[in-house]
Chain A
Amino acid sequence: MIKIPTKVLIVDDEKDFVEMFSLRLQEMGERVFTAHSGKECLDILERETIDVIVLDIKMPGMDGIETLREIKKRHPIIEVILLTGHGAIDTAVTGMKLGAYDYLLKPADAKEMTKKLEGARKRKDEQEDRIRKAEQRTLLRRGGNV
C-alpha cells in the first residue's frame, strides 16, 4: 500500500533541530514544511494545507502558546503537537486545554514522536470525515425539504 504522506509543519527556533527533524520525517515519507517562529508558521498556514504542526513552546517573540491560540482560531481542524522542556509540563497542559492534540518532552523519542504524529493525523482524518458526513446529511435534508 502506498503511504499517503502527512503534511507536517515543524515550528522551532532551533534551526539545526528543525533541519534534522525534517530530514528524518521526509525520509520516512512525510511532506515537511518548516518555520522558525510563530509568525512564520502562521504565514505558511495561509498558503499551505497542513495536517499536523509540531510546535515548540519556548520561542522568542510569539511563543508556542500564543501561536497555538492563533492557529486554533484560524484553522481549528489542524492538529498540534507541542514540544516542551521538562520543567514546563504545566504549560503543556494549558496548551492541551487550548486544543493541542498532545505534547512531547524535549528531547523527544523518535518512536513516540512517530506514534503521536500518526495519532494526530488519524484524529484529523476522522474529524474531516465526520464533517464531510455531516455536510452530506445537511445536503440530503435540504434536498428532502425541497
Chain B
Amino acid sequence: MAETRLLLVDDETHFRSPLKKRLQKRGFTVFEAGNGDECQALMEKEPVDVVVLDVKMPGMSGIEVLAWIREHFVKTEVILLTGHASAADGVEGIKRGAFDYLTKPVEFDHLVQKINQALEKRRREEEKKHEAEFKARMEQQMVATERLASLGTLSTGIAHEIDNPLAIIKECAEYMRLLIGKTDAPAMPRKKDFENAIGKIETAIDRARRITHQLLGFVRQPETVFAETDLKVLISETVEFVNKEAQNKKVEVSQDVENAKGIIWSDPYAIRQVLINLITNALAAVASGGKITVSVRETDAFAEISVADNGTGIPKENLEKIFEPFFTTKPPGKGTGLGLYVTSGIVGRIGGKIDVSSRVGKGTIFQVTLPRTREACMVMGDNKDMCLDILDMIKGDQQND
C-alpha cells in the first residue's frame, strides 16, 4: 500500500511531538497541527487519509473541525481523542461522522490499531465504489451492444421488405419515362414537368436503394477469404483510387509506409473496403488544401493502419456514436449514417479493432489494428473471440498451403 498520511491535531505540543515520532517509526507519514485553523490550512494544501483530532482545543473545537472535514473531505477518516471524563463528546463525534473515539491518555498500540481499522474501512469503501463504477460501465456497454445488435437485425429486416415495393415503384417510373419518351407519342401537355417529377422519383429510389443495399451488404457479406496481404500495395491502390476526387478538392493524400514490411495474413478485400471507407470519410472531413496521411506501423504482434486527416474533427459527444447505424451529421440524402457502422463490422469480421481519436478543428485519426498472434487477440476487447477463431483458421490455412 502507498504511504499513509496522518494528521495529528492537538493543542498540546508535548503530547503531539512524541506521538508523531512513534507513529513515524511505524511507517506513517505524519503532519501536525496545533489548532483547527492550522488543520484546515494543512488539509487544503494536501489531503490526508486519517485525522487524529483532539476534541478539546482553544478556538475551533474538535467537533467543529470534524464538521468541516466531513463537509470538505468525504474520504478522510477522523479519530477523536476525548478527555477521560467526557465520553459523551466521543459519542457525539461518531454521530457526526467520526470513525471512532479514544479517551486520553491514549494507549499507543490501541491508536495504531484504530488507525489501521480506519484505513481498512476507507479501502473497502473505495473498492466498493470502484466495483459500482465498473458495473455501471459494463451495464452501459452491454445495453449499447444489445441495442446495436437488435437495431441491426431490425433494420436489415426492414431493408429487405422495402426492396420489393421499391422495385415496383422503380418499374412504374421507368414505364412512365418510356411512355412519354416515345417519339410517336402524341404531344403531351406539360411533358417537361412530368419528366422532372419522374426524375425526382428515380433519384429518391436510388437513395433508398443505397440505404437498403448498404444495410444488407453488411449483414450477409460474401465469405471472408484470407490470403497473404500486402498492406503497402493495398494502400497505394486505394490512394490511387481516390486520387482524382482528392485532386479535385485540392487535398493531398500521402502515404507513410516506408518503415513497414506490411505483409499480413488477412482478407485483402475487407481491408480494401475499410481503407476506401476511411479515406473517403477523411476526404469529406478536410477542407480544400487539407492533408490526409495513411500510415502503417507494425510489431510482431500487430499491424496498425492509421488514416489521419487535419479536417474538422469530431466533437466529443459524437465520438461514441459514430459507429452506430444511421448516425450522421450530414444533411438528409448526403450520408446514410452506415459507413462507419459497416466499416467497424468488417474490421470485426477479420478479427481486428478500430479506434478513433479526434480534436475539433485539428483533425481525426482512425486506427485499424490487425492482430498477428494470440497474445495480440487478448487486447481486442469485444472482438477477442472472433480474433482467436480467425487466427486458428489462418494457421490451418497456412499449414494447408
Q: Which of A's residues lie within 8 Å of B, judged by CB?
A: 14, 16-17, 20-21, 23-24, 27-28, 85-90, 105-108, 110
Report chain A residues within 8 Å CB of B205: 107
* A89:B163 contact, CB within 8 angstroms: no
Q: List 24 A-B contacts (CB under 8 A).
A: A14-B167, A14-B168, A20-B168, A20-B171, A21-B171, A24-B175, A27-B178, A28-B178, A86-B212, A86-B217, A87-B217, A87-B220, A90-B222, A105-B213, A106-B164, A106-B167, A107-B163, A107-B167, A107-B169, A107-B170, A107-B171, A107-B209, A108-B167, A110-B170
Known A-B contacts A85-B160, A107-B205, A107-B209; the reply to A17 vs B222 at CB < 8 A is: no
Nearest first, the 9 A-B pairs at minimum CB distance are: A107-B167, A20-B171, A87-B216, A110-B174, A86-B216, A107-B170, A24-B175, A87-B220, A107-B166
Report chain A residues within 8 Å CB of B159: 86
Report chain A residues within 8 Å CB of B212: 86
Interchain CB contact (< 8 A) of A89 among B169, B172, B178, B222: B222
Instruction: Say which size band chain B's interface belongs to.
Output: 20 to 34
Bound complex: CA of A102 vs CA of B28, how far in Å? 82
Bound complex: CA of A87 vs CA of B159, how far in Å? 10
Q: A20-B171, A27-B178, A89-B220 are in contact. List 10 more A-B contacts (CB 8 A).
A: A14-B164, A21-B171, A27-B175, A27-B182, A86-B212, A87-B219, A87-B220, A89-B222, A90-B220, A107-B209
Within 8 A of A (CB), among B203-242: 205, 209, 212-213, 216-217, 219-220, 222-223
Q: Is B358 an interface residue (CB 8 A)?
A: no
What residue of chain B has the Cβ atom nearest to residue A114's Cβ? B174
Q: Is B82 an interface residue (CB 8 A)?
A: no
Bound complex: CA of A49 vs CA of B367, how far in Å? 59
What residue of chain A has the Cβ atom nearest to residue B212's Cβ? A86
Q: Is B295 an interface residue (CB 8 A)?
A: no
* B175:A20 contact, CB within 8 angstroms: yes
Report chain B residues within 8 Å CB of A86: 159, 163, 212-213, 216-217
Q: Is B179 an interface residue (CB 8 A)?
A: yes
Report chain B residues within 8 Å CB of A106: 163-164, 166-167
Report chain B residues within 8 Å CB of A105: 213
Bound complex: CA of A27 vs CA of B217, how far in Å? 34
Report chain A residues within 8 Å CB of B223: 90
What residue of chain B has the Cβ atom nearest to residue A83's Cβ? B167
Report chain A residues within 8 Å CB of B217: 86-87
Bound complex: CA of A14 vs CA of B160, how far in Å? 14
Report chain B residues within 8 Å CB of A88: 220
Bound complex: CA of A65 vs CA of B223, how far in Å? 20
Within 8 A of A (CB), among B140-166: 156, 159-160, 163-164, 166
Report chain B residues within 8 Å CB of A24: 171, 174-175, 178
Bound complex: CA of A110 vs CA of B198, how far in Å? 14
What residue of chain A has the Cβ atom nearest to residue B208's Cβ? A107
Report chain B residues within 8 Å CB of A21: 171
Bound complex: CA of A107 vs CA of B170, how far in Å? 7
CB distance from A83 to the nearest CB of B (A): 8
Bound complex: CA of A90 vs CA of B223, how far in Å? 9
Report chain B residues within 8 Å CB of A87: 156, 160, 216-217, 219-220
Report chain A residues within 8 Å CB of B169: 107
Report chain A residues within 8 Å CB of B172: 20
What residue of chain A has the Cβ atom nearest to residue B174's Cβ? A110
Report chain A residues within 8 Å CB of B213: 86, 105
Report chain A residues within 8 Å CB of B168: 14, 16-17, 20
Bound complex: CA of A24 vs CA of B160, how far in Å? 24
CB distance from B263 to the nearest CB of A (A): 30
What residue of chain A has the Cβ atom nearest to residue B167's Cβ? A107
Report chain A residues within 8 Å CB of B216: 85-87
What residue of chain B has the Cβ atom nearest to residue A111's Cβ? B174
Which of B175, B213, B217 has most A Cβ within 10 Å?
B175
CB distance from A143 to the nearest CB of B (A): 50
CB distance from A70 to the nearest CB of B (A): 24
* B171:A85 contact, CB within 8 angstroms: no
Report chain A residues within 8 Å CB of B163: 85-86, 106-107
Which of A14, A87, A105 has most B Cβ within 10 Å?
A87
CB distance from B39 to the nearest CB of A (A): 71
Within 8 A of A (CB), among B171-199: 171-172, 174-175, 178-179, 182
What residue of chain A has the Cβ atom nearest to residue B182's Cβ? A27
Bound complex: CA of A87 vs CA of B156, how far in Å? 9
Known A-B contacts A85-B163, A86-B216; the reply to A27 vs B179 at CB < 8 A is: yes
Report chain B residues within 8 Å CB of A110: 170, 174
